[in-house]
Structure 1
Amino acid sequence: MPPGARRSVLGLLVDGDTPRLAPDFKSRVLGHLYGIEKFGLRAHQQHRDFASLAGLVHHVDGLIAYALGTEAAWAEQVRERWQWILDTQGRPIG
């Protein structure tokens, strides 16, 4: 790799003092939240081809859990937004 190139391992950027989330990872998480807020859980689930609502919720939960281990401050804000979305739209059972 040339000097100054972006270095990543398992989707984490490791070219600085501490690992951090890649911008495309953050964008993917925020894209899910935006789509669910704007169109609803069911429409987003169908648009993104998830087999079930529970699968979508578990997927987003997992992305946020992964982020909490790397950039806790960013992920905590995202988790609060996610909980608000689920509270207002109703968490699917399963």
Structure 2
Amino acid sequence: MLKLLDVLLSTEVEAQKKQKVLQEEFYIPMAPKFAEEVVEMCNLSKGVMEQGMEKGVLRSVRAAMESLKVPAEQTMDILQVPDDEREAIRKALES
């Protein structure tokens, strides 16, 4: 049962490979509707992972700002936060 959950929730295994494993190892037929649900599960697990990473980066920026006594922009430079993530961090810091 744990391996089934590991396959479904893995963020590193693509949907097609998950479908193949479910068919071959767990004998679960891949009807079109179920195949769609596997893809949705893949997207959900990736979304949860990304959300957790965003929270971790935000927490790191806040802690570094406080410890180093430097503004957000300088902190993001020090932490090498990618440009495409900075606007979301700025907004989160304001709230």
For the aligned pair, the TM-score class normalised by the smaller chain equals 0.3 to 0.5
TM-score by length of 1: 0.37
Between structures 1 and 2, the one with greater helix share: 2
Query: Looking at CA atoms only, which structure, 1 or 2, has the larger radius of gyration?
Result: 2
TM-score, normalised via structure 2 length: 0.37
